[in-house]
Structure 1
Amino acid sequence: MALPLDTDHLRARQARRIPLYRKTFQLLRDPMKAFGEIGVQAGGEIIQLDLGAFRPYLVSQPDHIHHVLRGNAANYPRLGMFWRPLSTLVGYGIGGEGQYWEYIRPMLQPVFAGKNVAAITDDIVATIIDRVDDLDLKARTGHPVSAEREMTRIVQHSVTRFFIGDRISVDVADRLGDAIVSATTALASRIVFSFVPDWIPMPGDRTFKRAIRDIDEIVFPVIEEARRTPSDSRDVLSLLLQARGADGRRLDDQQLRDEIVGLFVAGAESSAVALIWLWVALDENPHVAAKLYEEIDRVVGEGPPRRSHLTELRYTKMFLQELLRMYSVGWMVPRKAAGDDVIDGVHITAGATVLISPFITHQLESVWENPHVFDPERFAPNRQDGRQASSYVAFGTGPHQCLGRHLFMMEAQLVLAAILTRFRPDLRTPSPVEPRIGLSLKPRQEVEIVLHPRQDRVVEK
């Protein structure tokens, strides 16, 4: 007996097309501005971006995103041209899809469970305080410092402690961090023009290959040493060395390398970029800064921040949530339609790329009240509702929701508290600070700040 034919896609309408090839020059010159303008044109409607042979769909309404990432997630795997360059860096585990991802994810979930993160929080706090001590020497010169360099260094050292323990020196941690930043930055051209075949040279290709070589020269020896000297530590590498898959097998060196590097990219890169933007947000919103300073002074006092302070830093958490809404670090989430589908009456063609952009969704006036105003209070418990919660996709949603979202919030609160108990920032970069496209959404300009040591406090060490 024949199965009934699904004819929904035959009755569905075609998505409105926007001829993006007419914006080629603008895409090359300022891709983020061009992309933002497209989002405004779409206004939440499902549209198709026409780049000639490449015609991805842009999905931005919360209900539509829920369909792609949750309701019908099996039809929208993380496959296609956008994921190919990333897989060269992180493999096919945490950044992958299919059977291997299903095999590896249960091994990673316990690592990011609240109990394990809490167990290593004190080590992370100690690392953050050490790096802020380093900042003190630079701050007392009165010269501007690079927010990107300093925030990246603090974050990378703290997540290094979480991911691989104390197995590398500070200098080697800096080298690893620099190589990962170089690799992710070099991917920008491949991400924006993902339809260009691999055999055609693109800007950044040589830098990317060189960075991969540097990463492997650091990570593989660390894995080999960890195998020779097993530890009962709670760092990620130690736990993954002990983990077994459903088939009873352990991860090999290449799999361990891919997971560690993938976690660095997902955890360190996005966290560091968010902490660059926070200095811009504080400078542009002095009333918000005043509330943040007051809470940190009241909760933390003159001593360094501790794990016990986290539950009391409520406004600080709301500030960070709003930061990730306003400056959507993970600006685009691509998927590939495995089969034909219909979303809100629009036909999605099998094999097409579907783009979800938190950058656009977080600015929809139909969803967010005054979306271009920086307002941490929108995340106050008494202002939360179901519609807003479903429209906040800073950490994604569905089966692939970011495993490290709790780690980010904990780490970012501690970094903010550690710095602001000792310094007051003065942004030296002229406004406006614009974003630029890469693997994550970094500021286009170099963000420089002067950190003024606080004269009203004698901070305990």
Structure 2
Amino acid sequence: MNAFAEVGRQARGQVVRLDLGPFRPYLVTHPEHVQHVMRNNWTNYLRVGEIWDPMQRFLGTTLAAEGPDWESSRKALHPMFTARHVTSLTGELADVIAERVDLLDEFARSGRSIDATATMADIVVAVNTTFFFGEKGSLEDGERLVRAFDTAIKCSSIRTIMPSVPASVPLPGDRAFANAVKTIDEVVYPLIRKARAASEDSHDVVSALCRARGEGHDGDRKVRDDLVAALVAGTDTTTHTLAWVWPVLQAHPQVAIRLYDEVDQVVGAGPVRPSHIPELRYTKMVLQEVLRLYPSAWILPRVTGASEEIGGVPIDAGSTVFVSPYATHRLDEFWDRPLDFDPERFSPDIDTRRHRYSYFPFGGGPHQCLGQHLFYIVSLLTIATIVSRFRPRVRNPGPFTPFPGVALRPKQKIELGLVPVERSRHTAR
């Protein structure tokens, strides 16, 4: 991962062919080349092949694939992820988050540490269970799904890094992967049946998908694949970005002070309400900078359908191309002091005029992630709710390094102590 970023920096964004033994993909980092692959000629750069096959075995062949099924999935899901629809649910999501944060009082009183990643996952699972399933799903359903997702992702990663091994050849983790997929189906299909049996016009994602998809086995399978792919993407990105926030704030006390001050002024003693979201400007800048240095989808593989050139470099049909936000976000040509953490890069008062594809933590083009509005609302609500109640302190020594799995996550456990904020409750401005 860091090697990819260093290769991109040394090549100054030019296309480079990586020598990974028998596997020799091309690394594309220059924003203009990224735009070519992700948007301008995106139909020639496909999410197919040996790297994608293991993931599609549990994500399905709709939202995580290509062609007519992918198009219909985007069309079916899009209304549920618009800024307007997500914003309309902000109050309900804020209540869910507040309930989960209430459970942290016991840790603060006893002085026990929390696992930052596990705690952020607990909050995100509760939110996503509400958003995707409404009253049809329980928190237990969401927790079972996330555990199964985690197992499936870890086990499929083995095949992802060994793309030349045929599926018929058993590898470690294959049995655990199969059991995880079985668990996912055991949770999701009953929820689909509940949604189809319900007569009310529910606003959760599973109900919307059931209305958009035909009934029967084929329709249910497409709803299942849409739900799983969207849930995995939404859960991983939000959980791991929120986990990174706390060691970053610890390492940059001036950033932390400014973020705490903003939450104090906007939210006060809480509770966090939808009206607070637009005022959390600096907090959003911090999130954007965390996404720059630690993009969850750190590498986006594609396979060329037809031969062509990128930046003067010939790319044969069937070649693998790696687009890496992690590497592009660290190019000296497009970022001043690219390895430094500086939220001011994203200040709305600064006219940077940076290239559209110098920063793309949610991908780009027609495959751009649908859930970025949901990500920002859930993340801002979560940070503001925690900070209005506690001052998190990282207790175990760093540095904390990223682990380059399917999603970019902290390699080490992050132990947080929670110091209660002492003040009288008051109404925030």
The TM-score bracket by the shorter chain reads over 0.9
**Counterpart in the other structure of 1:435:** 402
How far the C-alpha of 1:37 sits from its partner, in A, is: 4.1
Q: Is the 1:368–1:388 Cα contact (8 Å) retained in structure 2?
A: no
Identity %: 44
Letter in 2 for 1:346: V
Aligned partners of 1:271, 1:349: CA distance in 2, in Å?
Answer: 36
Q: Which one-letter code corresponds to 1:189 in the other structure? A: I
1:149 to 103, 112, 118: 118
Q: 1:213 aligns with which of 174, 178, 182?
A: 182
Question: Which of 107, 129, 132 in structure 1 is aligned with 2:101?
Answer: 132
Residue 174, structure 1, aligned to residue 143, structure 2 = yes
Q: Is the 8 A contact 1:337 1:349 kept in 2?
A: yes
Is residue 46–residue 346 contact of structure 1 (8 Å, CA) maintained in 2? Answer: yes
Change (3 A) 1:386 1:348: farther
Confirm or deny: 8 A CA contact 1:244 1:250 kept in the other structure: no
* Count of residues paired in the alignment: 427
Supply the distance in 2 between the matched residues of 1:293 and 1:446 (Cα, whole angstroms): 24
- Between the aligned partners of 2:365 and 2:353, the Cα distance in structure 1 is 16
1:90-147 alpha-carbon deviations (Å, 9 max, x no partner): 1111111112112221111111112221222222111111110112222222111111
Change (3 A) 1:376 1:249: farther
> 1 CA distance for matches of 2:96 and 2:255?
28
**What is the TM-score when the length of structure 2 is the normalising length?**
0.95
Does the CA contact (< 8 Å) of 2:63 and 2:69 recur in 1? Answer: no
Deviation of 1:78 after TM superposition, in Å, equals 1.4
Question: Hey, what does 2:336 align to over in structure 1?
Answer: 369
Paired with 1:123 and 1:411, the residues of 2 have a C-alpha distance of 11
2:6 & 2:362 partners in 1: Cα distance?
Answer: 23
CA distance in 2 between partners of 1:88 and 1:416 (Å) = 34
Q: Are the aligned partners of 1:378 and 1:384 in contact in 2 as well (CA < 8 Å)?
A: no
Name 2:61's counterpart in structure 1.
92
Q: What is the CA distance between 1:414 and its match in structure 2?
A: 0.3
Q: Quick one: distance in 2 between partners of 1:371 and 1:311?
A: 27
- The 10-residue stretch of structure 1 (319-328 or 201-210) with the greater mean CA deviation from structure 2: 201-210
Q: Which deviates more, 209-218 or 327-336?
A: 209-218
Name the residue aligned to 1:18: none
Q: Partners in 2 of 1:370 and 1:136 — Cα distance?
A: 39
- 1:230 and 2:174 aligned: no
Match of 1:15 in 2: none
Query: Tell me, what secondary structure is at the counterpart of 2:79?
Result: helix
- Unaligned 5+ segments in structure 1 are 1-31
> CA 1:457–1:173 in 2, change beyond 3 Å: closer, same or farther?
farther
Question: Which residue is 2:223 aligned to?
Answer: 256
| Aligned residue runs from structure 1 range 28-427, under 5 A | 32-243=1-212, 252-427=219-394
SS at match of 2:135: coil
Q: Judge conservation of contact 2:129–2:139 (CA < 8 Å) in 1.
A: no
Residue type of the partner of 2:283? Answer: T
Aligned equivalents of 1:293 and 1:389: distance in 2? 30
Distance 2:130 2:282 in 1: 27
Displacement after TM superposition at 1:370 (Å): 0.6
SS in 1 for 2:287: helix
- CA deviation profile, 1:49-93 (whole Å, cap 9, x unmatched): 123432110000101100111111111121122211111111111
- Which of 450, 455, 458 aligns to 2:417? It is 450
Judge which range, 413-422 or 47-56, deviates more: 47-56
Q: What TM-score, normalized to structure 1?
A: 0.88
Q: Which moved more, 1:159-168 or 1:45-54?
A: 45-54
- Deviation (angstroms), 1:457: 4.6
Corresponding residue for 1:27? none
Q: How many Å apart are 1:322 and its aligned residue?
A: 0.5
Superposed CA offset, 1:319-341 (max 9, x none): 11111001121110011110011
Three-state SS of the structure 2 residue aligned to 1:449 is strand
Distance 2:20 2:63 in 1: 30
Report the Cα offset of residue 434 of structure 1.
0.9
Deviation readout 1:10-47 (Å, 9 max, x if unpaired): xxxxxxxxxxxxxxxxxxxxxx3444444444331211
Distance 1:253 1:459, change over 3 A: farther
Q: List per-residue Cα deviations over 1:273-304 (Å, max 9, x = no partner).
A: 11111111111111101110011111111121
Matched residue type, 1:450: G
**Judging changes above 3 Å, is the alpha-carbon distance between structure 1 residues 416 and 340 closer, same or farther for their aligned structure 2 residues?**
same
Q: 1:141 to 1:410 in 2, by over 3 A?
A: same
Q: Deviations over 1:302-322 (max 9, x none)?
A: 121111111111111111111
Residue 244 of structure 1 deviates from its aligned partner by: 5.1
CA contact (8 A) 1:231 1:238 kept: no
- Structure 2 unaligned segments of length 5 or more: list them: none
Structure 1 vs Structure 2 CA RMSD: 1.9
Q: C-alpha distance in 2, partners of 1:415/1:179?
A: 24
Report the more deviating stretch, 34-43 or 292-301: 34-43
Which residue in 2 is equivalent to 1:22?
A: none
Query: In structure 1, how many angstroms separate the alpha carbons of the residues matched to 2:217 and 2:158?
Result: 36
- Once residues 19 and 164 of structure 2 are traced to their aligned partners in structure 1, the CA distance between those partners, rounded to angstroms, is 12
2:271 and 2:103 mapped to 1: Cα distance? 15
